[in-house]
Structure 1
């Protein structure tokens, strides 16, 4: 039987709901031990039917929990922490923030006590349990970090990093979803020009992208190792790869990542 965890998710929007479903689906916590808050409770009606505790009272949710997920908008954070401060207990609670761009020192400014804090950056693939989640921590024990890492592993892969890399992680993992989708769209458009119907071209592009990523995940090889298996002397693959590089494929990707990183630095300063 899974270890019992009491979990509060403050601000159960799309991400909060995905976290709740992932944790429950992995049997890391039972729905009856999870407390989800939101202003408009009607949007959590389906979760209520699944025996999750659905409520509008953040204080009650925190009082019943050990792990407290903060999934609110950045502008809502000060008021939420002011509200729950009286019931936060550093001996009991672990704060887990998924709030984009909000650093741990900023969270600490709104707390009345020193607490274990874990900052996590999932991406939108949490909805299908294929997220890449990067985490950084402060004042959390090794066991607490391990436990929270297990929660996010129910939603995909995780990596613990230094906080100074969290902006880069946002670009590479969160914005990265859009970058890879743009490649699939481009491949689909190319497939249409080659003669496929749009639905056929997209299906081929999607599954090929999935296969390429899976080769690296399962085989743990460098991309070039797998590329070498496809390219033959004077073949069509190397001709296409060379033309893409002549047109600046790798350079464009790297420049795009750096532009995104520069933008996120300017936004969060």
Structure 2
């Protein structure tokens, strides 16, 4: 991978921000010394200083010295953060990446600068192991800057470019979706216990079965129903179990949950 030569500021270095920083360095996209990490309590980041990252509690100073700015705080904290850095934003130099749910590119420009290039990215917690599904969108950034952001997030998983109006939907399907699939795995393991396995055995079996199902679709490039057809024989045990789940609302409850999460994701940020 071609090395990026600029400096990156990750403001609000929680799980997502730290995982991104580690992924960028691990993939040799940048060296640790090119990344500044900020947090109100930087003592929690002390171990990163030993690895060469720049640590600071001064968001404005870090932004002034950087090229790419990653806003990695909760939506409820974003207005305060933007107030801190608005005075040092340079539209000729800076590109802003926001990972805050429900916050539009226009919302950020309204607080920082009307001509600022803003790109939204929505990763999920699998970023910690380099397996994120990250969606990227913008309404004004150049193709070259979007490509740069895609390259960044490809160091920590897969990336899809989407239209900005779909970003809250991406939050529900990919970011909230991690929890939905984890709950399905937990339920499967509990079913395993009920039919005779020890809890640790049942969980291992459910996790590997879920991983196998996902890898089948990724590697075979097939549709779920094609793979389901391969394991459902006439009057068989698989179709009996599937139909029982559907009678109890398995698919519809998942769909309803995703729809509600999308509504909630769009209402996390207040403009004032």
The interval holding the TM-score normalised by the smaller chain is over 0.9
Alignment of 1:98-177 (within 5 A): 98-177=99-178
1:100/1:261 CA distance change after superposition, 3 Å: closer
Normalising by structure 2, what TM-score? 0.93
CA drift of 1:204 comes to: 0.3
Structure 2: stretches of 5+ with no match in the other structure: none
1:7/1:252 CA distance change after superposition, 3 Å: same
* 1:135 and 1:159 in contact (8 A); partners too: yes
**In 2: Cα distance, 1:3 partner to 1:16 partner:** 18
Aligned-pair Cα RMSD in Å: 1.6
Q: Check if 1:252 corresponds to 2:259.
A: no
Q: Which range moves more in the overlay, 68-77 or 92-101?
A: 68-77
CA drift of 1:245 comes to: 1.7
CA drift of 1:188 comes to: 0.6
**In 2: Cα distance, 1:97 partner to 1:202 partner:** 36
- Match of 2:241? 240
* 2:96 and 2:118 in contact (8 A); partners too: yes
Q: Which range moves more in the overlay, 67-76 or 33-42?
A: 67-76
**In 2: Cα distance, 1:58 partner to 1:260 partner:** 31
Normalising by structure 1, what TM-score? 0.94
> How many corresponding residue pairs?
269
**In 1: Cα distance, 2:268 partner to 2:34 partner:** 37
Q: Check if 1:80 corresponds to 2:81.
A: yes
* 2:76 and 2:269 in contact (8 A); partners too: no
Q: Which range moves more in the overlay, 3-12 or 181-190?
A: 3-12
CA deviation map 1:64-88 (0-9, x unaligned): 2111001123233233223222322
- Match of 1:39? 40
Q: Larger relative contact order (C-alpha < 8 A, sep ≥ 6)? A: 2
**In 1: Cα distance, 2:264 partner to 2:60 partner:** 36
Alignment of 1:211-222 (within 5 A): 211-222=212-223
Report the secondary structure of 1:75's partner residue.
Answer: helix
1:211/1:155 CA distance change after superposition, 3 Å: same
**In 2: Cα distance, 1:156 partner to 1:233 partner:** 39
- Match of 1:18? 19
CA deviation map 1:190-226 (0-9, x unaligned): 0001100000000000010011001111111101111
CA deviation map 1:10-59 (0-9, x unaligned): 11112111111111111111101111111211111111110011111222
1:210/1:18 CA distance change after superposition, 3 Å: same
Structure 1: stretches of 5+ with no match in the other structure: none
1:79/1:252 CA distance change after superposition, 3 Å: closer
CA deviation map 1:65-123 (0-9, x unaligned): 11100112323323322322232211211000111221222111111341110011111
**In 2: Cα distance, 1:3 partner to 1:264 partner:** 32
**In 1: Cα distance, 2:126 partner to 2:195 partner:** 30
